[in-house]
């Protein structure tokens, strides 16, 4: 059985964050788990430099923007968790906004990135549990997410890139409950902490 340890993404762990993203991380304009935030500053090619934006968040933020999972001592996964009101892609989404309980202390799990070689070994489960603990330690009243309900997808085979927000089953296994269904394949999941 693999030994999984999860730690906050602090400045001394930046290279581990980058390692989790692997080849995708070679493209600075790639998402870098910033899809629900404003794009990073323009790079030399004019495209957003999301790598630099995430680096700046890790390097200068008062609260780490995410967590890194280490499998047998090597970085194998990442998740982003933070205050819901920081994610303009959540609070500005009209479909979601109708279902959000006004609460400035609610946190949101936006994404997961797990290296292909370690998928299916409990990395996402460990990350989500640590996300909840991290949010709770920073005063969260609840944690939410907007995962994919794989059972209701039309495609028979679903690529990992379509599941970056996690799956409903993952959230349910961590104690989250469905509080709304804004779309057929995307439940709004919530875990009350107080």
The pLDDT of residue 74 = 94
The pLDDT of residue 70 = 97
The pLDDT of residue 160 = 66
Q: If you compute the radius of gyration of the chain from its CA atoms, what whole number of angstroms results? A: 16
The pLDDT of residue 188 = 97
Q: Any idea what the Cα angle at residue 52 is, between residues 50 and 54, rounded to 5°?
A: 70
Q: Residue 159 in contact with residue 166, Cβ under 8 Å?
A: no
Q: Residue 53 in contact with residue 40, Cβ under 8 Å?
A: yes
Residues of the chain with confidence (pLDDT) below 50: 1
Whole-angstrom Cα distance, residue 148 to residue 156? 14
Sign of CA dihedral 108, 173, 178, 155: positive
Q: Which CATH architecture has domain 4-192?
A: 3-Layer(aba) Sandwich (3.40)
């Amino acid at each position: 059985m693999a030994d999984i340890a999860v730690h906050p993404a602090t400045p001394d762990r930046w290279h581990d964050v980058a390692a989790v993203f692997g080849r995708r991380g070679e493209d600075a304009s790639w998402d870098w788990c910033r899809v629900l935030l404003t794009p990073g500053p323009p790079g030399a090619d004019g495209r957003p430099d999301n790598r630099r934006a995430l680096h700046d968040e890790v390097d200068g933020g008062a609260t780490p923007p995410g967590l890194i999972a280490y499998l047998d001592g090597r970085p194998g996964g990442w998740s982003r968790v933070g205050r819901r009101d920081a994610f303009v892609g959540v609070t500005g989404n009209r479909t979601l906004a109708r279902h959000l309980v006004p609460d400035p202390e609610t946190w949101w799990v936006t994404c997961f990135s797990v290296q292909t070689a370690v998928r299916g070994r409990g990395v996402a489960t460990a990350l989500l549990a640590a996300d909840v603990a991290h949010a709770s330690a920073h005063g969260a009243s609840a944690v939410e997410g907007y995962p994919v309900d794989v059972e209701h997808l039309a495609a028979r085979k679903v690529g990992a890139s379509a599941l970056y927000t996690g799956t409903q089953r993952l959230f349910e296994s961590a104690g989250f409950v469905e509080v709304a269904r804004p779309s057929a394949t995307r439940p709004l999941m919530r875990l009350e902490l107080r």
